[in-house]
Chains A and B, each alone.
Chain A
Amino acid sequence: MNIRQCANRILSALLLVLMCTTAPAGPRELPGDSIYQLDIPLVDQNGHAFDLAQRRGKPQLVSMFYTSCQYVCPLLVDTLRKTQKALPAAQRKKLDVLLISFDPGRDNPRRLKEVFAERKLDASHWTLSRTETPNVRKLAAVLDIEYKLLPGGDFNHSTSLILLDANGRIVARTSKIGETDPQFVAAISRTLSAD
């Protein structure tokens, strides 16, 4: 774009900022306890950039993983799938799944896409994503997921499935992996029907 276009856009952005600061807080204001308060740029398996807060509007199942993980992470994908399936068919399509990698060094979009294909994930609901290391630490902190990089390049991490409501508030979580957690499924169902 040329300089004039750029200047125009800056002007209109400034105007927008002015309008936002003078407008009264509406119902669309982001709740203070929403994880979407975090400003985190992500890239998905197709190389598309998006901001974490763009997930707002639809409840999400969120977790963290890395593609070279041999043990827990394949099981995590299975568990997320089983959890989706445990929901009534009408509710399933109202829920999206977002996985974020602990391992931005190796998990580039190409690698994420390979795993996406290998695991035959449903592109209408699943997103595998990566962000830079400082953002990984912030995301893990806000999701209360513990992780540690080991000298060999693997990660140790706690494994949780986390349910966010449409505004990005943590509604429920489970660390049950391998099979579905009935209480967690019930919490998802309640959230989806309230939405």
Chain B
Amino acid sequence: MIRCLVLPAFLLVAGMANAADYVNVPGGQFASVLPADATRADVVVAPFMLRREPVTNAEFLAFVLEQPQWRRDRIARVFAEPSYLMHWQSADALGATVLPDQPVTQVSWFAAQAFCESERARLPAWNEWEFAAASDATRHDARSDPLWREQILSWYSQPSGKPLAAIGGAANFYGVRDLHGLVWEWVDDFNALLVASDSRDQNDPDRLKFCGAGALNLRDRENYAVLMRVAMLSSLKAADTTNSTGFRCARPAAPVPPVATQVRGDRQ
């Protein structure tokens, strides 16, 4: 019976997808602020595709209308705390103060993951997000530039009471927008960032829940701009929502030739 039902369900999902824009990010060897292991090795990021912009209120509204189990009045409590989408006027309308082009916030990790699945995508891994976000307009890795850091830090110091800007900031080296300066973003492995790099220390599992060990291994400690993200994401549980946490989605690199328009075509 399962086999019979899978096919119609698949057709239904494939039919509803509307094309979001994804760009290629080449990946490569990368000095993450969180080293891959205790030897402080670089991480290797495989080529992937990243959503050009964060998911907006309008896009998330379309998603909950299509999959009503993710409406704020229907979502299972295990997947989101009560503040989920509570800034919207109602479960199925944004209202006057919530703009369609603002990034959606107050969404849990589970809801973000479900949205990405509806686009046949997933949340990016931290290292993927970090890789894409290391660039500025002209350089693939601008992180050592004090000006780059300063710009990002100045966003953190802005009061969070202000309404969020719409998406559509300047494109970075890869053509991705709004990685900095707009919202925090969920990543797939948000809850693994500070797990220690050596499990042999685990005979005392209570030891700071690995946080201490992870922190000791941080590379590039002056890079507060990036480490603030790590700290923020690590403080969250998967059902949590905050008024400044949104998300974007990622996909494995497109099959050869990796042309963005092909992916769009294949989704219609």
Contacts and interface: CB of A to CB of B under 8 A. Distances in A.
B197 A156 contact: yes
A138 B239 CA distance: 11
A110 interface: no
B78 A32 contact: yes
Given A35-B78, A141-B191, A142-B78, A158 B197 contact: no
B83 interface: no
A33 B79 CA distance: 8
Which bucket holds chain A's interface residue count? 35 or more
Given A6-B4, A146-B191, A147-B192, A37 B76 contact: yes
Contact of B199 (A32, A37, A138, A157): A157
B110 interface: yes
Contacts of A35: 78
B159 interface: no
B205 A148 contact: no
B205 A175 contact: yes
Residue from A30, A35, A156 whose CB has the most chain B CB atoms within 10 Å: A156
A37 B77 CA distance: 9
B210 to A, nearest CB: 6
Nearest to A134: B122
Interface string B32-56: 0000110001011000000000000
Contact of B200 (A71, A137, A146, A148): A71
A147 B77 contact: no
B266 interface: no
Contact of A147 (B110, B122, B195, B200): B195
B36 A146 contact: no
A111 interface: no
Given A146-B192, A151-B36, A141 B238 contact: yes
Contacts of A69: 199
B199 A71 contact: yes
Contacts of A30: 76
A32 B110 contact: no
Contacts of A157: 195, 199
A177 B199 contact: no
B12 interface: no
A30 B78 CA distance: 11
B150 interface: no
Interface in A5-27: 6, 9-10, 13
A126 interface: no
Interface string B221-258: 00000000000000001100000000000000000000
Nearest to B38: A150
Contacts of B174: none
A168 to B, nearest CB: 9
Given A37-B79, A71-B199, A156-B196, A138 B4 contact: no
Contact of A156 (B76, B79, B113, B198): B198
Interface in B101-145: 109-110, 113, 122
B199 A72 contact: yes
Contacts of A137: 188-189
Nearest to B204: A177
10 contacts: A9-B4, A32-B77, A33-B78, A72-B199, A137-B188, A141-B191, A142-B110, A156-B195, A156-B199, A158-B210
Given A10-B8, A146-B209, A176-B206, 18 more contacts: A9-B1, A10-B4, A13-B1, A32-B78, A134-B113, A134-B122, A137-B189, A140-B191, A142-B78, A142-B238, A146-B191, A148-B192, A150-B37, A151-B36, A156-B210, A158-B195, A158-B210, A175-B206
Interface of A: 1, 6, 9-10, 13, 30, 32-35, 37-38, 69, 71-72, 134, 137-138, 140-142, 144, 146-148, 150-152, 154-159, 175-178
Interface of B: 1, 4-5, 8, 36-37, 41, 43-44, 76-79, 109-110, 113, 122, 188-189, 191-192, 195-200, 202-203, 205-206, 209-210, 237-238
* The 3 residue pairs across chains A and B that have the minimum distance between CB atoms: A141-B238, A32-B77, A148-B192
